[in-house]
Amino acid sequence: MNCHFTLRVTTIFFLLIIGSTAAMADEFKPQDLSWYRDESGQRQAVRSAADWDRRRADVLVRMQQVMGELPDRSKLPPLDLKVSETVQRDGYRRLTVSFANLYDERVTAYLYEPDGLKPGERRPAVLALQSTGVEGKDIMDGRGPRGPSRAYGKEMAERGYVVIAPDYPSFGDQKNYDFAHSRYASGTMKAISDNMRCADLLLSRANVEPEKLAVIGFSLGGHNALFTAAFDTRLKAVVTTCGWTPFHSYYGGKKLANWAQPRYMPRVTSTYGDDPDRMPFDFAELIGAIAPRPVFSDSPLHDANFDVEGVRQASEEIRKVYDLIGSKDRYVVQYPDHAHDFTDESRRAAYRFLDAQLGFTPKRDTPTTSAPTPAN
């Protein structure tokens, strides 16, 4: 059965069980990962991987209550890949591409492909998701205002990966995206849909190893990497940097309106009143929902956006899930001593994590210097 059709059926099933949104949000306490709801709606202790699968299915339902429903992907249009520019660089080429998604929309992206592949040779592939910035995909090519510290698309290509780096809606070539008339309930779900379409494109390429797809992102890209991986199990490893903290720890729970802009999740305000106590999901269970797939969280000590103490507390619960399902070493979190940034040292650690998880020996160990990058 198509995995996305299965997800839709599961979603409907759990919505019928759970009942009203307000009561569910109050009862579930998303940071408590010790239990799930059985067929009769009763709380039961999580004691096995099968028990956690029930909780995971429910997490996806509650994410959609905030983001809007994941669209039906059973009748996707042909990709209709168009290349508008090809730039040859040392060891790879960068293609400027667009391709079809649902609702007559097109994804715009950079596609990086390594040179010198032997006939039939396949490489691991990475979905690189941008941080906030009008430059869009140029940020991941090192051409945004933060330069090399955000150039993880380009640097992964230099390592020898196939890489796709899309524009987030409202940035780059998607700068005029009209959220007011969008078929998606949120910019977040629109981005998830585009990101899943990027995975479709990667899997269509003869030079991509289909079981070795990963996703990486900083800040905006950091939480969108988590959101996308939760829904798309084809992504086998995740790097999130400066991308999350529990909603109660996000500016002390006082600025959830920041998440409610049209390009993110408007229901945070319109349905849940910017109240972390009413939010139907949170990041501990979201990351738990990705398990047993590997997750690397780069969470700096002085990140003013995503409080490190919240990450520490949530990580204790996340590790319990990974331990329970026999994946103890697959959740890795580091706490570098800097602010909201993706330094050379942190990027190198993140890249080496992906190398190890995907079984890949890089062609070069980028970044090649250890000089610190400036913080935002």
Please, what is the angle between helix 21-28 and helix 49-67, to 10°? 130
Say which residue, 146 or 177, is predicted with more confidence.
177
Q: Read off the pLDDT band of 27 (50, 70, 90).
A: low
Q: Read off the pLDDT band of 51 (50, 70, 90).
A: very high
Quick one: average pLDDT of 304-308? 97
Say which residue, 149 or 167, is predicted with more confidence.
167
Is the predicted pLDDT of residue 8 greater than 70, yes or no? no
**Strands of the sheet with 208-218, listed across from one edge:** 82-89, 92-100, 106-114, 162-166, 123-129, 208-218, 235-241, 295-298, 331-334
> Cα(first)–Cα(last) distance of the chain, in Å?
46
**What is the model's pLDDT at position 167?**
98
CB distance 126 to 355 below 8 Å: no
Q: Read off the pLDDT band of 146 (50, 70, 90).
A: confident
Cis, peptide link before residue 148, omega less than 30° from 0: no
**What is the model's pLDDT at position 30?**
73
32-59 burial, b if ≥16 CB within 10 A, otherwise e? ebebbbeeeeeeeebeeeebbebbbbbb
Is the predicted pLDDT of residue 373 greater than 50, yes or no? no
**What is the model's pLDDT at position 28?**
54
Mean residue pLDDT across the chain = 91
Give the whole-angstrom CA distance, residue 264 versus residue 44. 33
What's the token pair of residue 179?
Answer: 């959220």
Is the predicted pLDDT of residue 330 greater than 80, yes or no? yes
Q: Read off the pLDDT band of 81 (50, 70, 90).
A: very high
Q: Determine what percent of the chain is predicted with pLDDT higher than 70.
A: 90
Quick one: average pLDDT of 178-204? 98
Say which residue, 119 or 28, is predicted with more confidence.
119
Is the predicted pLDDT of residue 140 greater than 80, yes or no? yes
